[in-house]
Structure 1
């Protein structure tokens, strides 16, 4: 692995220098906290032990180099003012830190050993039907717990305040001797009560988190709604759930559901349903109407014959986008015929004559 690292480092040196902020997906105004968070997320995503895609290891090295510079106030200032060339002059030929050692130091242990995973957060997320039709980017916030910025999850005021537990000698367990019979004892292991099984004790707690190791945080996310996204589709934000020094953060999972449309549209998979109300004259004589679709385009509703109450007209290709395909389902328009509450004597006479004429013509046939 180390030989691979030096080979990739050589390639990175020969290649044109990338914008270190863009490598971490950050703006130049990013805070130290933003830089640590970006490195944590991206380094886990592209770590070669987890990501076997081509180019992942090279990306991992690039991320480590960007973090090495931007997390150091002096190097960051030089880079912001003079760019890559100024940084090279400052370093005077110094070697970059090994990205795997950096990763190990940041997470307090090897990636492979950090196997315990924290709980994921699963929640329902309602969106407008129009957003599912057209696609949308929706910002939202999640309250969660993150590692304390001050102590980086140790719970101590400083590294010097962390000491090996004298009770268990740093093993996290102690031997317990229990008498079974006179002269006979059984020996078993129990979690050390003084250090809670961690093997370390804290002399002075972190003033920022009070020794809790984590603090409350409101995280901002963006949900990308894909046109035609299925009902109940799960969108996963990997590693964005509650953080803890005792586990790898779980995921934030959103189950996307469509909010009931107040305009009258209904959806079933790739089909759309609409109810259109017409009068008795339109039901008998036909009509032309315009229906404004979810994205604002106009759909023409045309009937030339008699339209029975409850008749359903199928309009091909005007339904929902079919998820993952460049195609659309169908639109089904159900017609509701409204009869007048009362009619005038003149109208009654004309209708009677019309129906009488129609009946006579039918009898002659």
Structure 2
């Protein structure tokens, strides 16, 4: 993947880079971040900047910085030393020989083999939801803020469910083993032994004698989280955007993902979309259909398209305007716009108008023609 010499150079540069860096800022965290927050941040950022996926300049250096920050902050002892004395204190703690783990080995260990490999920790469910945005936002691109409710670990007990650490005690029913063993005599002198999950502690081996007052012993609380959805121009209907590790939290699993399927809102009339093609229905009067017209149509991003028709426009006629459709996702080109014309007839005619139409179409006094 990468030569050993390149990697050694990166490690040498790392000492100079991270010495001036704030490891919490590197992981985009506050100094009060929990272990789960640190793990989640490393998971997200290491995937984002891994050189196998990100070819941008500086991505590899950022990947190494993220690995070092996680190496320090995920170790309770190193984190305490860093919090009190910074990088200098950390080097002193390690005898002046601060060793940096191989960031690629760390990544493989964390993900148990790299991209696509099974997770070491049990993962929670993935939540999949449809998210509707306006067609104009899908045309121009947009940043959309939204709120979402989810369960997070209780800040007070950090997911233990107990008021304090001392309120978690070994289960008396099973002696802390999580199982109960019972004996049943079959014949004189012969017994059968059965094992079952302890119903007092549910197999955990511990019981809570005083529940956390904040979550009532539930271990999690409901929280409303703010998110920003980035819509790219021309994003396809049903395109999935993944918020990695933002599912419901639990002490029993690592939070799963939230997947948003982006779709445009269904609106009556107006603009319609099919992949990179746009459709617009324009209604004109009969005189415009016969004599021609000029009209302006305001596009989804606000720019104006001039419709200039000379001569007759048949009802249902479709005009093609190249390059005025949806942006083609990931490209600089656009699809086509199709204008369908709908001709509206008047609901009634004045006698003067009937006379003039008769003269125009049938010529006054033409034999065999009745007056309109």
Following superposition, the deviation at residue 10 of structure 1 comes to 5.8
Following superposition, the deviation at residue 143 of structure 1 comes to 1.0
Matched residue SS, 1:137: strand
Structure 1 residue aligned with 2:27: 24
2-side partners of 1:57 and 1:46: how far apart? 11
Kindly indicate whether residue 67 of structure 2 is the aligned counterpart of residue 60 of structure 1: yes
Residue 249 (structure 1) aligned to one of 255, 263, 266: 255
Query: Structure 1's 174 and 53: CA in aligned 2 closer, same or farther, altered over 3 A?
Result: farther
Matched residue SS, 1:32: coil
TM-score by length of 1: 0.76
Residue 15 (structure 1) aligned to one of 14, 17, 34: 17
Query: Structure 1's 294 and 251: CA in aligned 2 closer, same or farther, altered over 3 A?
Result: same
Kindly indicate whether residue 264 of structure 2 is the aligned counterpart of residue 265 of structure 1: no
Q: Is the 1:12–1:62 contact (alpha carbons within 8 Å) kept by the matching residues of 2?
A: no
1-side partners of 2:266 and 2:46: how far apart? 42
2-side partners of 1:209 and 1:223: how far apart? 30
Structure 1 residue aligned with 2:92: 93
Following superposition, the deviation at residue 184 of structure 1 comes to 5.0
1-side partners of 2:323 and 2:241: how far apart? 27
TM-score by length of 2: 0.75
1-side partners of 2:100 and 2:337: how far apart? 59
Residue 131 (structure 1) aligned to one of 137, 150, 172: 137
Kindly indicate whether residue 42 of structure 2 is the aligned counterpart of residue 43 of structure 1: yes
Measured against aligned partners, the alpha-carbon deviations of 1:222-273 in whole angstroms (never above 9, x if no partner) come to 1111222222222221211111111111111222221123561112222211
Query: Structure 1's 280 and 188: CA in aligned 2 closer, same or farther, altered over 3 A?
Result: same
Q: Which runs of 5+ in 2 are unaligned?
A: 54-59, 103-109, 113-118, 367-372
Measured against aligned partners, the alpha-carbon deviations of 1:284-322 in whole angstroms (never above 9, x if no partner) come to 011121100010011121211211111111211111122
Following superposition, the deviation at residue 283 of structure 1 comes to 0.2
Query: Structure 1's 285 and 181: CA in aligned 2 closer, same or farther, altered over 3 A?
Result: farther
Q: Is the 1:143–1:219 contact (alpha carbons within 8 Å) kept by the matching residues of 2?
A: yes
Kindly indicate whether residue 349 of structure 2 is the aligned counterpart of residue 343 of structure 1: yes
1-side partners of 2:336 and 2:291: how far apart? 26
Kindly indicate whether residue 124 of structure 2 is the aligned counterpart of residue 118 of structure 1: yes
Following superposition, the deviation at residue 209 of structure 1 comes to 2.2
Kindly indicate whether residue 306 of structure 2 is the aligned counterpart of residue 300 of structure 1: yes
Q: How many residues align?
A: 332
Measured against aligned partners, the alpha-carbon deviations of 1:85-104 in whole angstroms (never above 9, x if no partner) come to x835666722479989xxxx
Residue 239 (structure 1) aligned to one of 234, 245, 263: 245
Following superposition, the deviation at residue 18 of structure 1 comes to 2.6
Query: Structure 1's 330 and 154: CA in aligned 2 closer, same or farther, altered over 3 A?
Result: same
Residue 158 (structure 2) aligned to one of 148, 152, 172: 152
Q: Which piece of structure 1 moves more, 214-223 or 258-267?
A: 258-267
Residue 223 (structure 1) aligned to one of 229, 234, 241: 229
Matched residue SS, 2:203: coil
Q: Which runs of 5+ in 1 are unaligned?
A: 79-85, 101-109, 361-365
Matched residue SS, 1:22: helix
Kindly indicate whether residue 357 of structure 2 is the aligned counterpart of residue 354 of structure 1: no
Structure 1 residue aligned with 2:317: 311
2-side partners of 1:190 and 1:47: how far apart? 43
Query: Structure 1's 67 and 246: CA in aligned 2 closer, same or farther, altered over 3 A?
Result: closer
2-side partners of 1:94 and 1:274: how far apart? 70
Q: CA RMSD in A?
A: 3.7
Matched residue SS, 1:93: helix
Following superposition, the deviation at residue 196 of structure 1 comes to 1.4
